[in-house]
Amino acid sequence: MTEENTAPEEEVSEETVEEVDLGPVAYGVPVTESFGQTVLHPAPDQLIETVTVLQQDGFCMVIDLTVVDYLTHPGRTDLPAAVTPQRFEVVVALINHQQSTRIRLRVQAGNNQPTVPSLFDLFPGTEAMEREAWDLFGVTFTDHPDHSRILMPDDWEGHPLRKDHAVGDIPVQFSTTVGN
């Protein structure tokens, strides 16, 4: 009786230890699922490595790159235990044409000076998307070939899609200086 009782207890404890320590992992990073789509959660320094592996794996296009500012919604519940939520999250969507599957990367980019490596060398199509992310959210993409504003004027101050950039608090700026 005692042997039978102890054996399953050991198994249970092993399982719980595994879950707490790692959680499900794919491509070497924590993975979750959102409405049938796979979501990977690499750290900024794992991003290039992860995307390189994904590219070799048949994900032939970065279809979308954007940022979410979680300033006023910090307690989100859809992150795996291994990932610490941070204010800025860079969201990269890749697509695999052969298998017609999609994968999404959610990178915690930081709280104050969000920085992630640029994906330009792997996917040149991210150039405009990363410029937009810098312009509207102030996320720095290291090694980006043209790290400049794209939608706002060159002399604009601030990053308008941040949650602390209130709507309507700045009068319309008519650019007098030579800008972009």
Partner 1 sequence: MTADDLTLALGDPERVHRREQSAVLRVNESDAEALTGDPENPEDDHRMILNMGPQHPSTHGVLRLMLEMEGETVMRSKPVIGYLHTGMEKTAEGLTYLQGPTNVTRMDYAAPLFSELAFSLTVEKLLSIEVPARATWIRMLMCELNRVSSHLLFQATNGMDLGAVSMMIYGWREREEILRFFEKVTGLRMNHNYIRPGGVAADLHDGWRQDVRELLDMLPARLKEYDTLLTNQPIFQERLQGVGVLNPAEALALSATGPILRSTGYSWDLRRHAPYMFYDQVDFDVVVGTWGDCFDRYAIRQNEIRESLRIIEQILDLMPEGDYRVQNKKVTPPPRVRIDESMEALIHHFKIFTEGFHVPEGEAYVAVESPRGELGCYIVSDGTPKPYRMHIRGPSFVNLQTLPHLMEGGLIADGVAVISSVDPIMGEVDR
Minimum CB separation of residue 142 from partner 1 in Å reads 12
- Beta strand 88-96 with 101-110 is antiparallel
Terminal CA-CA length for the chain: 79
Selected range binding partner 1 among 21-29, 80-88, 107-115, 116-124, rule: CB under 8 A: 116-124
# of chain residues touching partner 1 (CB under 8 A): 47
Rounded to whole angstroms, the Cα distance separating 160 from 146 reads 20
| Positions 130 through 149 that interact with partner 1 (CB under 8 A) | 132, 136, 145-146, 148-149
Residues whose CB is less than 8 angstroms from the CB of residue 81 and which lie 6 or more positions away in sequence, other chains included: 20, 23
Q: Does 82 bind partner 1 (CB under 8 A)?
A: no
Give the CB-side neighbour count of residue 74, counting CA atoms within 13 A: 6
Residues lying near partner 1 in the complex (CB under 8 A):
34-35, 37, 60-64, 66, 68-69, 73, 76-78, 91, 93, 97, 100, 102, 104, 120-121, 123-129, 132, 136, 145-146, 148-154, 160-161, 167, 178-180
